[in-house]
Structure 1
């Protein structure tokens, strides 16, 4: 897969790049010759990602442990990352995924989900845009969610935030296209990651997923990596403002 799409020498900023859906994409980008800056908060996952990076590409992997709610620290890091050479690709993937009835969320909890899932994406995009504009090339990918189809409850702030990212995808695509910058969304389906641990009956949930999908296997992180590699590549330069659903045919748009 890494040889199909041209991302060699591209500088990639990837939030949540050490997570369940992020690690394989990070490794695929490295294998294709990209320089990847991963922003993540989980020290254990960061260490695991570092241990899995091939020795020949470890010099192109830069791991930044940061709380995306710490805006001053995030802004400072982004300023430094954009200073030496332009950021070519931004992947806004990090997400907070709490689950409980809407009325049980405090204002602070609602704000925190929006802060990680939306405001951090805005800061990352804003930091990268001047360099993209100057070189007349850029790729921005926003990771949304199958939950936007309205089939889940007790996820209001998460679904709200993913809806905001979809809106930003379309608005940014319209505004940035004149500078050679494409903006697209990737909408994952139900993948067996840590997020599924919120379900009280894992076996029942797994059976339900397979029943609803057209493709009768669970998704795996390489399915997301393939979508990211394509949309981040030179070959996808005429695709913008779109949402690519990677869900095994659960929801068809």
Structure 2
């Protein structure tokens, strides 16, 4: 990966500790590398051990010591809490990126209640646990950044993803509630709503070429999204320069949904 995100004279996240869920999937590898290149220490969580090894193999040697990579299934809330307790006992977490999500696809009536609970546990409850673990440290230093990754699906237009869309709506609600409640301590909470980026998530679509046409027809910008499009937004919201922005949702979708 070309280091296009780093300010050579001043790495904007030097000294910051980032907790990043879903770090080895989708667009996570590029984001993780960019965070490290900008001076951050990254605690990366992803349940997929194979993808974790792919992430580790792409980290430049000079940055590898700043990466902590944990294979944790976020539905195992006890394991997640135990891991976070160990992390914060060493040093506070400055930035939380709640990115991990699962997205099974089928008609609403075919989801069992247990399946819906499982999706909510991974997509929402894990974010609650991660944010709560970081809160005391953020509050003590009167600085913090919470970035929730939501979804373009909240705008409607996608069938057979009801529990996923519901979970992303919950994250958007949490973004606004946390922004209001935590702002007095210098903590911001914002959301990023990605568009239809070409990742493994698209494998759920039976007609890839048709889906490609569907995406480009809806976007104002007639190209597919690239990792650096998301990376740039995450780096900005994590920076000092975004300290007066909170409770907002930024759509990174090529001009699909306009607010």
Interval containing the TM-score (normalised by the shorter chain): over 0.9
Residue matched to 2:241: 235
Residue matched to 1:24: 30
Residue matched to 2:97: 91
Compute the displacement of 1:208 (Å).
Answer: 1.0
Distance 1:8 1:212 in 2: 39
Distance 2:53 2:229 in 1: 23
- Count of residues in Structure 1 that have an aligned counterpart in Structure 2: 253
Residue 110 of structure 2 is aligned to residue 104 of structure 1: yes
Determine helix, strand or coil for the equivalent of 2:61: coil
Residue matched to 1:214: 220
Could you list the structure 1 runs, at least 4 aligned residues long, displaced by more than 4 angstroms after superposition. none
Residue matched to 1:59: 65
Q: Unaligned 5+ residue runs, structure 1?
A: none
RMSD: 0.9
Distance 1:79 1:72 in 2: 11
Distance 1:205 1:108 in 2: 30
Residue matched to 1:182: 188
Q: Is the 8 A contact 2:11 2:39 kept in 1?
A: no
Distance 1:154 1:25 in 2: 29
Distance 1:7 1:155 in 2: 36
Q: Unaligned 5+ residue runs, structure 2?
A: none
Residue matched to 1:135: 141
Determine helix, strand or coil for the equivalent of 1:57: helix
Compute the displacement of 1:127 (Å).
Answer: 0.2
Q: Is the 8 A contact 2:15 2:40 kept in 1?
A: yes
Distance 1:156 1:184 in 2: 23
Determine helix, strand or coil for the equivalent of 2:170: helix
Q: Residue 2 of structure 1 is aligned with which of 2, 6, 12?
A: 6
Distance 1:5 1:117 in 2: 31
Q: Residue 194 of structure 1 is aligned with which of 190, 200, 203?
A: 200
Compute the displacement of 1:2 (Å).
Answer: 2.2
Q: Is the 8 A contact 1:144 1:188 kept in 2?
A: yes
